[in-house]
Chain A
Amino acid sequence: MRSIRARLLVVLLGSTGLVWFLAVVWIYFSTQAELERVLDARLMEAARMVDSLLTDHRVDLALASIDGNGTSGPQSRAVEPQSYERQLSCQIWSLDGTLVGQSEHAPQGRLTDVKQGFSETDVGGETWRVFAIENEALGVRVMVGDSIRIRDRLVSEVIKGLVAPAALVLPFLGGAIWFSVRRGMSPLKDMEHALAGRDANDLHPLPEARLPKEIAPAVEALNGLFRRVADARDREKSFTAFAAHELKTPLAGLKTQAQIALASADGEVHAHALRQISAGVDRTSRLVRQLLDLAAVEADAEQSSLVAVRASELVARIAGNLSLPSAPPIEVVYDGLDADRPVRIDPVLAALALRNLIENAIVYSPQGARIVVRLSACKGRLDLCVEDEGPGIAADELSRATDRFFRGRHRSSEGSGLGLAIAKEAVSRMGGDLSLENREPHGLRAVLSLPAEELP
């Protein structure tokens, strides 16, 4: 059963009904047993009473006999005993088997053949419960009995009295259970309505006020998810907007320069415009490449795969892959690390991070400056350090320098504001971190610290 409401209804109604039914069965049997006991005791008592009256001669046997015979007629015996009056019938038999006397409405036949004690007998189509007692002194046997049918009726009346109100109340109880289950489920229903009516862009949180505490955690979790999705979407949106802005500006520059080249007859102006176009295309291609790098780093599809690479190989791979021409000299220093000893590292991400740091250094390097790439290994960590002699990053901008598209005061015309962001993203995917610090007298030191296993 998939519906909680239906299940609750079935369980609640079923268990209530079952409890009630078991109670009725229990009461039926216990009432029957109790009644048996009480009525048996009454039979016994009545028989003894009659016996003692006879013994004491307070009632004359002959008189009793006449009296008994005189009033009992077949016509009156045919009348069904409607109420609980005259339940008991009494017969007095002589020990030799003649009826001495009997009570009004007593059956025609002998009540029992048992000489003494309890017995059940069929007399005239009816079952009787009889207690017999023998009086040897007077030579009589006193029998007192009552009809089992009447006993059963008594029990059934008691049960009826029990079941009738229950049967009346049960529909109301069912209604109350149904109503309260429905009320109890209403927050879920409300939530369903609120969510079903939404379009895909509506990521507003669901109202959290006055929720039952069973549902509140689910709603909170859902709202948390909404928040995260909205954040991710905002990031994506601002990224797209930034990317569009960053691409439109160089495109505007290219178009302007192209129009100048077309419009100007002056050879110098013409050549200048073409040089600008060429440089602009280089810069724009680098920007596109960086956007793709960022997308690649962010596409968190698979875990980074570790491969054994030689440090020298890694550096060589980057050096041959720089998207900036006319780079200043790059000096590679291996500090406590054998350049030819392989380390286990994600080569793609590490190369991406290191390349962007080196390109960043190139972009900010003044004429004649040099760049040092320092590789060192220590206790399972590989540090890739890039030092330049550029302007560095203003102290108050250091914390924002790895934000996407952030470009500080010491910006370069060739920068895009993406290099450090890519390096940071790549390094955090490898489980390492990127630290930036300014050098004396000027320049920037960027350190990629990666967990890396050095192989023998």
Chain B
Amino acid sequence: MRVLVVEDDALLLDGLSVGLGLAGFTVDAVATCEDADAALSAQPYDAVVLDLMLPDGSGLDILASMRGGGNTTPVLLLTARDQISDRITGLDAGADDYVGKPFDLDELSARVRAVARRGQGRAAAKLEWCGVMLDTARQTASLNGEPLMLTRREFGVLRALMEHPGMTVSKHTLEEALYGWQEEVESNAVEVHVHHLRAKLGAGFIRTVRGLGYRLAEEGA
């Protein structure tokens, strides 16, 4: 799950990158409106964490241009100005949630997960498919009730596939969900993760769609 964090304070930006990374997100961090616009136009995100006061403008401007351009990516506003009127302004401008500084990192992670989930049209916090259950909050998985040990990357691949059951997910999309800008992606990394998942879940659980990507096997297949 890929998240864009827009925050001009270096200390907090670093904290958010690391903290959300620990919570299982792939984080891209930018500090200005300009960089945020560039990032948003370059690739899709599951959620955006947006500070209001930025050096070259307001987070509300980014929000307005996103919504004006038809971008429906869930946005969570992060700001020190948390008067009720500020919250109302932010939410009415198209934000999905609002968190005042300072905040609890776990709560922020949960809220980002929640707005991202809503953005995908899901209400349940857990993903389930053919006996496999993913708890996105705890980052744990189980197969037929038995705990399943997955690495962070394996969990990410499985989550990306289970968020769109029955649909083919391209290798590129999986790479984007797993790796941020700063991270080197090896050309066969996704294949390696899928290979490990097949070893743990059974060879038929993930199907390769030649030339397109991967998708989950039909239920009951």
Contacts and interface: CB of A to CB of B under 8 A. Distances in A.
Nearest to B51: A249
Contacts of A245: 53, 80-81
Interface in A411-432: 411, 413
A249 B80 contact: yes
A272 B18 contact: yes
A295 B122 CA distance: 51
Interface stretch (A52-60, A92-100, A188-196, A253-261): A253-261
B55 A411 contact: yes
Contact of A409 (B11, B14, B18, B55): B55
Interface residues of A, number: 30
Contacts of B100: 248
B55 A259 contact: no
A259 B23 CA distance: 12
B22 A256 contact: no
Nearest to A241: B81
A158 to B, nearest CB: 84
A249 B15 CA distance: 12
A251 B106 contact: no
A253 B19 CA distance: 11
A283 B11 contact: yes
Main SS class of interface, A: helix
A82 to B, nearest CB: 95
B10 interface: yes
A262 to B, nearest CB: 9
B18 A253 contact: no
A259 B19 contact: yes
Interface string B156-173: 000000000000000000
Contact of A248 (B8, B16, B102, B104): B102
Contacts of B104: 255, 259
Given A259-B106, A260-B15, A253 B22 contact: no
A22 B130 CA distance: 120
Given A241-B81, A254-B11, A260-B15, A248 B101 contact: yes
Nearest to A279: B11
Nearest to B99: A252
Contacts of B103: 252, 255-256
A1 B103 CA distance: 65
A408 interface: yes
A252 B55 contact: no
The number of chain B residues touching the other chain, given as a range, is: 20 to 34
A292 B73 CA distance: 42
Nearest to A408: B55
A250 B9 CA distance: 7
Nearest to A284: B11
Contacts of A248: 80, 100-102
B101 A251 contact: yes
Nearest to A265: B22
Given A241-B81, A245-B53, A252 B14 contact: no
A234 to B, nearest CB: 16
B18 A252 contact: no
Interface in B27-48: none
B105 interface: yes
A257 B14 contact: yes
Interface string A256-275: 11011001100001001100
B198 to A, nearest CB: 28
Contacts of B12: 249-250, 252-253, 256
B56 interface: yes
Given A250-B9, A407-B55, A409-B55, A256 B81 contact: no
B11 A244 contact: no
Interface of B: 8-12, 14-16, 18-19, 22, 53, 55-56, 78, 80-81, 100-106
Given A249-B12, A252-B80, A273-B15, 5 more contacts: A245-B53, A245-B80, A245-B81, A253-B12, A256-B12
